[in-house]
Homo-oligomer: A and B are copies of this chain.
């Protein structure tokens, strides 16, 4: 029998519980604060925008939280996702490293975002919600929630960052195919949107603005809640199926990672693959190097402050203690739209501050080059976001070639690039350049951080 190409679990081996890293934190997290009072926010206050079950998960310290069976039933359509050994890439790199990757592009919308979209749609439906509002950048999250909404009979309203709305009409068409409504943000459908347009009529939008619009609508109507695709504890929790599966799959391969790599925008795909392994370490088990990769042009973990900040531009969301570049910072228009966010998941920020996560950044040209090298070896074209993880994995494998070490590298290939071919076209046509953030803009945004306590 030849070596397996993929490590595939049976659908009955889909995890029955999510892993909650709050149970194993060596130092507890700082509380989330009410945007008005700046006091710790209550479940009742959060209940205006989120269903109860999700709020309970947000603050839970139970280690294992059960995945409802109707959620598992849908996830089982594409999960457990495959774990691959990247043998052809290893050969191309002439590296003694063993490279494994978990592939989340197998979900119908093409990324890990579907994992939490199904769960959030389920909880909203169960509590009688009729409509969910949300924002999307690159479109992966909006597509996932649109699909989940059609399966649970929920109306979905997506504010899509205007620059992406214009650049990625096919993501919009994908959402509309599932019956979702997709509006370019900033829009004139909300006060937040109108305020931005009054000051900047040509605004191309940002995730922070789109979140403001979506939250504003959710607050207004009792039958409407809001859903977020990253950043918050419950979202990261729903993604832990990735790492839990990878643990079982690496056992099948008789391997354990020396390092785990993921790209970080809001942080959910990174947390999804890393937290179950990091939890093992926090409970006294084997240590693993966790490498969070972000774009040089939006360097939240590597250059941001660890401070309380808003999740959105209009300051409607609660305040979280996190790494941030300032809620008014608008990153330059590089192609990995899913990584263009000023903040970082509080759990990841907390663990980075404690030294358990090592952040680094790469610029976009080297990431696209890595993405193409990966495609030509492994056959899969990565999403621009995921090329950041690919770049770091290749970098580490090249270091092994120099040192002769045979390290085991695990990375998360969070999505495919089928809807991102314009970015590849631009790269192949020599039209892309490396971008950097403007230091004065970040300084200005950080100067506006709210003063707490």
Chain A residues near B (Cβ < 8 Å): 1-2, 4-6, 8, 10-12, 69, 73-74, 76-77, 84, 88, 106, 108, 110, 147, 150-151, 169-170, 173-174, 176-179, 372, 375-377, 379-381, 416, 418-419, 421-422, 424-425, 428
Which of B110, B151, B424 has a CB less than 8 Å from the CB of A177?
Answer: B424
Q: Which 4 A-B pairs have the closest CB atoms?
A: A170-B421, A418-B418, A173-B421, A108-B379
A-B contact pairs, 19 of them (CB 8 A): A1-B12, A2-B69, A4-B11, A4-B12, A6-B76, A8-B8, A74-B379, A110-B418, A150-B375, A150-B377, A150-B379, A169-B425, A170-B418, A170-B425, A173-B424, A173-B425, A177-B381, A179-B376, A418-B419
- A381 partner residues in chain B, CB cutoff 8 A: 108, 174, 177
Chain B residues with Cβ below 8 Å from A69 are 2
Given the known interface contacts A2-B69, A5-B73, A77-B379, the answer about A372 and B12 at a Cβ–Cβ threshold of 8 Å is: no
Report the Cα distance A176→B375, complex, angstroms. Answer: 11
Interface of A is mostly: helix
Q: What number of copies of this chain does the assembly contain?
A: 2
Whole-angstrom CA separation of A69 from B3 in the bound complex: 12
Chain B contacts of A418 at CB under 8 A? 110, 170, 174, 418-419
The answer to whether A10 touches B8, judged by C-beta atoms less than 8 angstroms apart, is: yes
Chain B: which residue is nearest A108 at the CB level? Answer: B379
Known: A11-B4, A11-B8. A428 touches B173 (CB 8 A): yes
Contact of A421 among B10, B174, B428 (CB under 8 A): B174
Please give the distance in Å from A107's CB to the nearest CB on chain B. 8
Distance to closest chain B CB from A50 (angstroms): 24
